Structure 1
Amino acid sequence: MTPPEIRINQTWPFEDGSVVELTCLAQINSHAATLNWNCTDIETSKQNIANCTHYSTKIIYTAAVEDNGRVCKCIATMGTVSISTSIKLHIRIKEIFSLDIYNQFLCNNSKEVQLSCTITSNALSFGFDSWTHTYNGVFIRHLKGTNVGNTSVVLINTCQFYDCGQYECRAWKRDESGLKWIEKAGELKVSGPPFIVETQAIFTPDLSFAAKFVSLPTAYYLEWYISEEVLNNSSKYNRTFTRDTFTVYMHGVPVTVAGYKATLTIDSKEEMETDEQVSLVLINELGKASYSFKLWKAPFEENEPNVYNEIVAESDGRMSNHHHQYFDIEISHEDTESNSYDESSNNC
């Protein structure tokens, strides 16, 4: 009779809470032999006999850290003769290393917001690295958090559109297996009055004005004005409102954002008078924004060129000054009116 062989289905050490199998095998040339485990209160399966001489018995066991160091013995017995093989259980504490961060942070424009991240770990040594701010995968900046215990906090005193995006918290731990890192990100969404990103005046072939903007929540009021008079429906004017993408600089980094474009086209320049003002007014639930183009009659002297005449000269040198009214344009931006408002469905 040869000593039993013990096989395990996992590598050492077992992890606390894992399910492991301990199998004992023995070759005994007797029908009267037995194969048993001595492993205190750990329940074993009945022995199996294959080909009359091969015996096996198995333990299916949920590892517990309090069993670390326990000796389990497999004993083969034939008559009065016994022979055994022992195994000493090596069970390590289950690794705990995780980060808890909100999937979404919300702030109102110009208000304060705190981003927090908490680490859970049973390692003796752990800590945080800098936060990383990105927008749609584009790196924007690193931010150093204030670390208190197992929590790291980034404070943004005045929340702006340029702060929206993804914020990744990164933490580390060190144990006997070495240094390990973990990352988890949350998204900051900034709600506020409409934010006009870019404006444009086009002079030929028709006079048109355009504004690109973001609005979170969506603007429910969009109107063009001429000299404080709302623009009524007319075949003389063409107004469009479309979704658009454009480049915005977030903390000096160019990123592509999704927003809207409002355009006003005036088919006949003769409809415009001098000293008029064309304005766009946008309103959403959080406030108002407006943008104004101020027009005045331009000089026609050759030594005093204006923007309109320069553009016309490049596109069509045959246009006559005698048949058109020409304008210079001055752009003014009205300060945004904002109110404190919190709406969890708003997107950045």
Structure 2
Amino acid sequence: MPITAAADIYVEEAFYNIRYYAGKCFTTTQTGTCLPEVCQCSSRGLWYSHSFNVTQPDGFIYIKCSMLFDLREVYSDSLKVRIVEFSSPRIRPNENFPLSSGYLVTFSCNVDITNYYVTFQWDCLNNESVDTMIEETTNQSSTITRKLHLKHDNQTCTCISNVDGYIANAYLRVYVSKVPVLQINDSRVCNDSFSTSISCTISTEFSMYGFDMWEHTFRGIYIRSLKGKVDGRRSSLTIASCRFQDAGDYRCYGWTNVNGETFSANKSVSLYINGPPLIVSATKRLGQNVTLSVLFCSSSYPDPMWLHLGTPIKNSTQMTQILYNTSLPIQVYNVTVMCAGYMTNLTTELFMAGRFVACLKNDFGEVRKTFLVNLKKSKGFMVSFDFRSIIIGITALGICIVTSSVTVVLMKGRRKSSVVHVVGPHELSTIPIYHSAPSAEPVIHIYDSANAGYLEVIDYASSQSHYSERNNKESGDGVSNTTTNEHDYEEID
């Protein structure tokens, strides 16, 4: 036994003294007795132990232990320790748990280490040990591939790593899903009026399986349910003639039954319809100007063009056309949904009339909307006539006969009734007088011709009498204008 019941330990340049006294173990690195996880002593003083942390990542450290015996003899021993730093191995599958039955799954085992050679050994789903492949690699990883079955559920996969003689293991419990796996077409595109088919296939090891109704949605809104044609493990849906309303997502539902418990799965595919623009509505607004509008949806960016009497319209001060992006409500199998649509406007002045056509084109076709615009009277107008002699005229208000030098102004306001204001020769009018330009083409009027086309009885005596009376009145000084109520016809009893 060492005479001092103590031991000296040297770790590189550090020194530790451990001694046993009065039934307790002490060390110079701590004040008081040793903690069990730090240092321990033999009750007879035959052995001593000390724990310490190694901070260097790799290489060698030298440890020396010495004891003092009788006759002051010191006995010692030394040890060279190799330091290897690496992480514990980790196993990961390439899919999330639970894994799908009937599919290949790759397991990888990784160890974080540098400058050392690592070997791997697998014990993974050993009931298929014939297919097990062990890879030895220096890049600190190894992979194996297994085909999953329901019998692998709840089994353990083990990876054994050997780093320069140091062994470390990793374990992974495998979970296999009882939910069926559905395979469906990729997103499909159907041209307008063509047919398309969507199919869904179920994969499962169970004997009881089936399909539910397909579900059609548009931007997350439920549209309708459809029954697919089932043939074995496949359910198919056929659209005979694609229309804009058939666009959206189609979801397939499949199920399996395991010991009375049902496990369901679903998967969707998007269907895109390529076709000409779909006109949602069209309006014609009459005001100070005429505004024609068409609201429509389009599967690609549109290129609208307006025509007037068959001629393309260019933007001008008289005609302006604009295209807006907007969101439009449309009816899809009696369900209202919103589509990314457009609105095209054409604004013209009132005197522009005739046949207007909105030509809506995109990458897949063209549609047209026709508008007929008729000239209408404005809600407010004024027409004036300046008479210097006897004039007989026909207006929209009736027949107006004016004598002498007067001005007749026809006005129509917001009210339905019209107002005729007669301005005499001595009256100051505050009403603006408008003179209309002559028509581009002569307008034949029934009163333009002196020959009425029929015999007319003329009383020369009466006419001469009226002519003489008029001359007398106009030649007399200080005589006021009067109106006579005498009749130039013979009364019959």
What is the correspondence of 1:308-319 to structure 2 with a 5 Å cutoff?
A: 317=414
Change (3 A) 1:182 1:321: farther
Question: Which residue of 308, 315, 320 maps to 1:226?
Answer: 308
- Structure 2 residue 340 is matched with structure 1 residue 258: yes
User: What's 1:195 paired with?
Assistant: 278
In 2: Cα distance, 1:67 partner to 1:278 partner: 73
In 2: Cα distance, 1:194 partner to 1:132 partner: 26
> Which of 1 and 2 has higher RCO (CA within 8 Å, sep 6+)?
1
Change (3 A) 1:199 1:320: farther
Once the two structures are superposed, residues 250-290 of structure 1 have per-residue CA deviations (whole angstroms, 9 ceiling, x without a partner) of 01111111111111112x212x23xx111111222322111
- Assess if the C-alpha contact under 8 Å between 2:179 and 2:263 holds in 1: no
User: What's 1:134 paired with?
Assistant: 217
In 1: Cα distance, 2:177 partner to 2:258 partner: 13
Structure with the higher strand share, 1 or 2: 1
User: What TM-score do the two structures reach when normalised by structure 2?
Assistant: 0.42
- Assess if the C-alpha contact under 8 Å between 2:288 and 2:350 holds in 1: no
- Assess if the C-alpha contact under 8 Å between 1:194 and 1:288 holds in 2: yes
- Assess if the C-alpha contact under 8 Å between 2:323 and 2:345 holds in 1: yes
User: What's 2:470 paired with?
Assistant: none
- Structure 2 residue 191 is matched with structure 1 residue 108: yes
Change (3 A) 1:187 1:15: closer
For the aligned residues, what is the CA RMSD? Answer: 3.8
In 1: Cα distance, 2:335 partner to 2:228 partner: 21
In 2: Cα distance, 1:113 partner to 1:193 partner: 18
Unaligned runs of 5+ in 2: 1-98, 108-125, 130-145, 156-173, 379-412, 420-433, 435-493
Change (3 A) 1:224 1:147: same
What is the CA distance between 1:15 and its match in structure 2?
Answer: 10
Once the two structures are superposed, residues 67-89 of structure 1 have per-residue CA deviations (whole angstroms, 9 ceiling, x without a partner) of 99x9xxxxxxxxxxxxxxxxxxx
Change (3 A) 1:295 1:150: same
User: What's 1:283 paired with?
Assistant: 361
Amino acid aligned to 1:148: D
Change (3 A) 1:64 1:124: closer
- Assess if the C-alpha contact under 8 Å between 1:96 and 1:120 holds in 2: no
User: What's 1:158 paired with?
Assistant: 241
- Assess if the C-alpha contact under 8 Å between 1:96 and 1:122 holds in 2: no
Number of matched pairs: 233
User: What's 1:9 paired with?
Assistant: none
The ranges of structure 1 where at least 4 consecutive aligned residues each deviate by more than 6 angstroms after the TM superposition are 14-19, 39-42, 62-68, 319-323
Paired-residue identity, %? 25
Amino acid aligned to 1:252: N
Question: Which residue of 352, 366, 373 maps to 1:295?
Answer: 373
What is the CA distance between 1:156 and its match in structure 2?
Answer: 0.7
User: What TM-score do the two structures reach when normalised by structure 1?
Assistant: 0.58
Unaligned runs of 5+ in 1: 1-13, 20-38, 43-61, 71-90, 301-315, 324-348
- Assess if the C-alpha contact under 8 Å between 1:103 and 1:185 holds in 2: no
